[in-house]
Amino acid sequence: MKNLLRQILAVFVVLIFLNQVLDAQKDFGFKPAASNIQGSDFPKISLDNSVYVRLMAREAMKVQVQGGDGLCPKPMDLVKDTAGNWNAIIPSAGPGFHYYWFIVDGVRVNDPGSDTYHGYGRPTSGIEIPVAGEDFFHAKNVPHGDVREHWYYSDITGRWRRAFVYTPPDYDKNPKKKYPVLYLLHGAGENERGWSLQGHMSFILDNLIAEKKAVPMIVVMDNGYATAKNAAAATSGFSMRDMTKMAETLEQVYIKEIIPNIDLSYRTIPKRESRAMAGLSMGGMQTMLIGMNHLELFSWYGFFSGAILGGIMDDPKNAFNGAFADAKAFNEKVKLMWFGAGSGETQFVKMVDDTKKKLADLGIKSTSYISQGTFHEWHTWRRHLNEFAPLLFNR
Amino acid sequence: MKNLLRQILAVFVVLIFLNQVLDAQKDFGFKPAASNIQGSDFPKISLDNSVYVRLMAREAMKVQVQGGDGLCPKPMDLVKDTAGNWNAIIPSAGPGFHYYWFIVDGVRVNDPGSDTYHGYGRPTSGIEIPVAGEDFFHAKNVPHGDVREHWYYSDITGRWRRAFVYTPPDYDKNPKKKYPVLYLLHGAGENERGWSLQGHMSFILDNLIAEKKAVPMIVVMDNGYATAKNAAAATSGFSMRDMTKMAETLEQVYIKEIIPNIDLSYRTIPKRESRAMAGLSMGGMQTMLIGMNHLELFSWYGFFSGAILGGIMDDPKNAFNGAFADAKAFNEKVKLMWFGAGSGETQFVKMVDDTKKKLADLGIKSTSYISQGTFHEWHTWRRHLNEFAPLLFNR
């Protein structure tokens, strides 16, 4: 009897939910997300950017949804309807791209309605929430550069590695022109495709170049993981130890393999004045660890929600073989130290402030920017790139 | 009591299974697949190419694995161990790339240990089985071309479309040289990334060009789906009706948008003698539907497990506005009609034979090739490309 009551109650809840959903769809203009795979009705997005997710799972006992900080950082229960679909409406999501996933009877799975993107060390569903009044990251009717998949053999790691290389719109039309290069690094658990796929970097650069807000440049996006061929198996670990160890190998790969290969394969200006390095999160830390040790290679630096962790700035005067010790020399040599975060990721805002202050105390100039209403997610970093790229290479 | 017995029996089965698995791992040299995402131990492949799959799903009631014809075309049950891992060993898999997925309590999900590839109209796990004695599709120490992500606006479909464009290794070094172009089409449920990702087309071409078995050429891989902007919503349907309707729009996109855009953006030889078209499965059908109507644009044709369906060759003499009616004229104009299949996909072998015979009856020359021991899967089409490309452009 208790069971029967519970079942009736459950059906009742579902019916109420379904009615709400139907009303909601009508009233709030739910439409399939632009990021859905072809022909998929779900997920849907409302006028206030609530996200209606659905998964068909007739035999499942429990289904939840979870995602990035601007979407649904804590697991949220879905409710099963009589057809076997599980449904939930995530209230007003933050702007731009979010990773997300379902948890079906304890197993983390992707949404068949969305494409996957390499995040959290594995292919993970993603959704694009419209951003009112912002189109700097959209494909527009301007000349477009190509993003090239570029393979090279890395002797240090004993593997073929893949870089994605953005060549600006006029690259093929001016076969003698040489270009400055921005090395752009992804975050932990992501890969070399992140900046072009999740980040829309090619559209951002195309638009900036078309508006003459940025100089035409080559952008190199390589993989942020590197393990020496004789070392223990590669990890995609997030720990400080993993990251520092990896940065050491990655430093060698950058200095001895990536940069020489790019200078050989593309029409670069192979000088420090024409080379920039920037990265997001783990990539920001790598930019610090690699870049500050090689002022002879780079002049422009960007730290996008940079993970300045693990005490690497505890003793700034002696950090990086004393790179910051002589402020005058540093300020002459380094054209830009740019720090960014999103207002919703408070610990990174604090890291930006702390690092800027430590540098200022030594007399070192830096710039910062906080993206309003965004989190430790890609829309923050799209805005960072859009703010950072125009400052490069003495436009 | 009956339940208890059943539980004891279940534990017993698991223990036997686990022992077998442990023995199997030791005896048959199971190692993580090369296609695994970084740091993932499973799936594993044995010396005889059996595949050991595992999924952690403590609360699931039933888990199955299923995949491509050369791997596991029918669902196979996994067995749960005491740790909550579900395990199965798929006996000796066929060579090369296979799509696969798990079914967890009725929900089709991807393997977190593998990368995803666009197949079956959605991101789907894939595994690479080693192929003894064959390395034509591997990255080798030869000059490498780039595969470029190339965006353009399509007025016919009202959308931004993306093509992947392979430029051969010497493309940037010879800024005045012009190249012939192969338009290479993917299959149903796949997308424009298929040929470079699943197909390894860039490595195949790099190797052929390095050995001087193929002339340097540009290869264009566009999306095989197109819906006119005013038509009903796009589908990724597999039905004959869907395909034919789509091919009509796609024909317009090729003729009016893709080919002119490629001829404008890259250093092509914009003549029919220097243009080839080939596709796999649905792409083979599209090559027939579009290509035979445009002998003024192409001279070389490849049908890789081409879906020559729906009666399009029922009346060959009158098909395609009588393209085949004058055999002498056709044979002079068309340099290559190449048909391929895999020995394991018998209906496509039959389609190759039937089509060749129908053409021969009209006096039209054609060539065919059967890939031994492969199915309606990517390794068949990798071999097809490797056989087909050397025949192109009067090497």
What confidence tens digit (pLDDT) does each residue in B86-95 have?
999 999 999 9
- Among chain A residues, the shortest Cα distance to B34 is held by A159
Spatial CB neighbours of A228, under 8 Å, sequence gap ≥ 6: A156, A157, A249, A252
B210 touches chain A (CB under 8 A): no
- The answer to whether A112 contacts B112, with C-beta atoms less than 8 Å apart, is no
What is the pLDDT, as a whole number, of residue A3? 54
pLDDT at position B27 is: 62
Please report the beta strands in chain B, taking only residues with DSSP state E, as ranges in sequence order. 31-32, 44-45, 51-56, 63-67, 76-77, 79-80, 85-90, 96-104, 107-109, 116-119, 122-129, 146-154, 159-167, 181-185, 218-221, 275-280, 300-304, 336-342, 367-371
| Residue B103 CA from chain centroid, whole number | 23
Residue-level pLDDT at B170: 93
Query: Helices in chain B by DSSP H: which ranges?
Result: 2-28, 194-197, 201-210, 240-252, 259-265, 282-291, 319-322, 327-333, 346-361, 378-388
**H helix intervals, A136-256:** 194-197, 201-210, 240-252
Q: Identify the closest residue of chain B to A60 by CA–CA distance.
A: B105
The whole-number average pLDDT for the span B133-161 is 97
Does residue B1 surpass a pLDDT of 80? Answer: no
Confirm if A373 and A256 have CB atoms less than 8 A apart.
no
| Mutation target vs B (from A40, A103, A105, A154; most B CBs, 10 A cutoff) | A105
pLDDT digits over B368-385, tens only? 999 999 999 999 999 999
The widest CA-to-CA distance across chain A, in whole angstroms, is 83
Write out chain A residues lying below 8 Å of B175, CB-based.
Answer: 175
- Give residue B127's pLDDT: 98
The answer to whether the Cβ–Cβ distance between A148 and B149 falls below 8 Å is yes
Between residues B18 and A366, the one the model is more confident about: A366
CB contact under 8 A, A107 and B60: yes
Contact A177, A170 (CB under 8 A): yes
- pLDDT band for A307, please (50, 70, 90 cuts): confident
Distance from CA of B246 to the nearest CA of A (A): 14
Among the residue ranges A12-26, A80-94, A376-390, B170-184, the one predicted with the least confidence is A12-26
Helix (H, G, I), strand (E, B) or coil at B213: coil
Residue of A nearest to B147 (CA): A149
The confidence score (pLDDT) of residue A241 equals: 67
The reply to whether residue B146 touches residue A165, judged by beta carbons under 8 angstroms, is yes
Check B151 against A144: CB less than 8 A apart: yes
How far, rounded to the nearest angstrom, does the alpha carbon of residue B60 sit from its chain's CA centroid? Answer: 33
The answer to whether the Cβ–Cβ distance between A109 and B104 falls below 8 Å is yes
> Inter-axis angle of helices A282-291 and A240-252, to 10 degrees?
50
- A62·B60 Cβ contact <8 A: no
**What per-residue confidence (pLDDT) applies to B197?**
98
pLDDT digits (tens, 9 = 90+) for B200-216: 999 999 999 999 999 99
Q: Are the Cβ atoms of B110 and A104 closer than 8 angstroms?
A: no
Angle at A313 between CA A308 and CA A319, to 5 degrees: 125
Question: What pLDDT is recorded for position A7?
Answer: 54
User: Cβ–Cβ of A106/B160 closer than 8 Å?
Assistant: no
**Is the pLDDT at A67 greater than 90, yes or no?**
yes
Model pLDDT, residue A237: 55
Q: B390 is written with which tokens? A: 């050397």
Within an 8 Å CB–CB cutoff, is residue A61 touching chain B?
Answer: yes
Distances (CA, A) of B26 to A57, B30, B49, B92: 38, 7, 14, 17
DSSP reduced 3-state for A225: coil
Packing angle, helices A378-388 and A201-210, rounded to 10: 30
Residue A39: which of B121, B158, B245 has the closest Cα?
Answer: B121
Does the pLDDT at position B84 exceed 90?
yes
The full set of domain ranges for chain A reads 2-129, 146-391
Statement: residue A20 has pLDDT above 50 = yes
> What residues 233-292 of chain B have any CB closer than 8 A to a CB of chain A?
233-237, 265-267
As a whole number of angstroms, the distance between CA B340 and CA A283 comes to 46
pLDDT value of residue B240: 65
Contacts of B225 in chain A (CB under 8 A): 38
pLDDT tier at A242, thresholds 50, 70, 90? low
**Token reading at A214:** 């940025």
Mean pLDDT of A342-366: 96
Q: Does A85 touch chain B (CB under 8 A)?
A: no
Query: Count of A–B CB contacts within 8 Å?
Result: 134
Closest CA–CA distance from residue B121 to any residue of chain A (Å): 8
Residue B245 has pLDDT above 80, yes or no: no
User: Could you tell me which CATH class the domain A146-391 is placed in?
Assistant: alpha beta
Contacts of residue A157, Cβ cutoff 8 Å, sequence gap at least 6: A226, A227, A228, A229, A249, A253
Q: Select from A246, A250, A252, A260 the least CA-distant residue to A222.
A: A250
Residue of A nearest to B63 (CA): A107
Q: Which residues of B touch A165 (CB under 8 A)?
A: 146
A108 Cα to chain B: minimum distance (Å): 8
Asked if A123 lies within 8 A of B116 by C-beta distance, the reply is yes
Which residues in chain A have Cβ-Cβ distances shorter than 8 Å to B196?
A: 149
What does the pLDDT read at residue A230? 76
pLDDT tens across B309-343, in order? Answer: 878 888 999 999 899 999 999 999 999 999 999 99
Chain B residues with CB under 8 Å of A86 CB are none
Looking at domain B2-129, its CATH class is mainly beta
Q: Is the pLDDT of residue A21 over 90?
A: no
Residues of chain B contacting A236 with CB distance shorter than 8 Å:
37-39
Q: Residue B146 is nearest to which of A115, A149, A235, comparing CB atoms?
A: A149
Tens of pLDDT, residue by residue over B273-303, are: 999 999 999 999 999 999 999 999 999 999 9
The answer, yes or no, to whether residue A373 has pLDDT greater than 80, is yes
Tell me the chain B residues in contact with residue A237 when contact means C-beta distances shorter than 8 Å: 39
Measured between its terminal Cα atoms, the distance across chain B in Å is 77
Q: Which of B57, B235, B236 sits opposite A105 (nearest CB)?
A: B57
Do residues A288 and A247 touch, judged by C-beta distance below 8 A?
Answer: no
Q: What is the pLDDT of residue B138?
A: 98
Does A231 reach chain B within 8 Å, measured CB to CB? no
* B143–chain A Cβ distance below 8 A for any pair: no
With CA atoms as reference, the chain A residue closest to B226 would be A38
Q: What is the mean pLDDT of residues B131-155?
A: 97
Kindly determine whether residue B144 and residue A165, on different chains, have CB atoms separated by under 8 Å. Answer: no
Measured distance CA(B234)–CA(B248) in Å, rounded: 13
Single out the residue of B340, B343, B341 nearest to residue B373, CA to CA.
B343
Q: Out of A11-25, A82-96, A145-159, A299-313, pick the least confident.
A: A11-25
Looking at the predicted structure, is the pLDDT value of residue A12 above 90? no
pLDDT digits (tens, 9 = 90+) for A155-199: 999 999 999 999 999 999 999 999 999 999 999 999 999 999 999
Polymer length in residues for chain A = 395
pLDDT single digits (tens) A324-341:
999 999 999 999 999 999
Mean of all residue pLDDT scores within chain B: 92
- Per-residue pLDDT band for B239 (boundaries 50, 70, 90) equals low
Rounded distance between C-alpha atoms, residue A92 and residue B88, angstroms: 42
pLDDT(B135) > 80 = yes
